[in-house]
Structure 1
Amino acid sequence: MTRQTVLRRSADPLRLWAVLSEAVLRRVVGSPATMREQLLYLAEKAGHPKITMQVIPYSQGAHPGMAAGPFQILGFPWPADPGVAYVEHRAGALYLEGAHEIHAHNVAFEHLVALALSPDESAEMVREIAEEYA
C-alpha cells in the first residue's frame, strides 16, 4: 500500500506500465469475494492516466515472459542513465545495470506489449473475470 502512494502523489507521480498474464488473474488467492474485489480494483486503477495495464490472454500461447519469469524495468528521467532491470528469484534478487542486460529486458517487454490486449481490452477482460467470482 505504501508503494502505491508514489502513483498518487500530486508532485511528479511515477508512471507504471504492467503487462500481466491471464493466469495471474485466474489464480485464486483468498476467497471468491476477495478475488472479485482485487480484480475490480485493478480494472479501476488501470484507468488512471499514469497507469497502463495490459493482459496477455491464454490464446497467445507461449510467450517470452514465461521463459525468464517476471521482471521490472526501472527507468529514470536522466538521459545518461539507462535504467535498471530488476529480477527476483528464490534466493534473492538481481539488479541488472549492464547496457546489454537492460536492452534484453526492454526487447522482451516490447514483445510482451505487442502480444497483450490493448489497455481498454485488458481492463474489460479483468472486469469480466471479476464477475466470474460474483
Structure 2
Amino acid sequence: MNIDTALKEAMSIGGAVGVALVDYDSGMSLGHAGGGEWLNLEIAAAGNTEVVRSKLRVMQTLGLSDTIEDILITLHRQYHLIRLMSGVKARGSLFLYLVLERDVANLALARHQLKRIEGELQI
C-alpha cells in the first residue's frame, strides 16, 4: 500500500482526527491527512520526533535490547498514538502518528488497525 492509501485508511479508524507519516531522523512529515485549525500536523510531527528520539536515547542508555512498538500519550479528550515502523518494507526511521478523539475511539482496535497499516505500507 502506498502512503496516500495508508493515510486514508488510518483516517477511517473510528475517532481519527489526523494522521501523519514522519521521518524521525529529519523530523519531516512524508504525508498527512486530517488535522485542522487546532491540530497542525506538521508541527505535531516535528514535536513528536523529539518524543521518539528521547525514548530511543533512554532505551540505549539503559542498555535495553528491545524495540518500541508504539508510544501512547493520553490527554483528557484525545489519544495520541505513535507507531514506529519496524517492517522490512519501510525505512527504519519512520513512525505513524495518529490523533484520536477519546470519546469516540476504541484504543485497542485503533492500535490493531495501525499495526495492520504499518505491515502493508511500502515506502
Q: TM-score range by the shorter chain?
A: under 0.3
The structure that has the greater radius of gyration is 1
TM-score (norm 2): 0.27
TM-score (norm 1): 0.26
Q: Which has the higher strand share?
A: 2
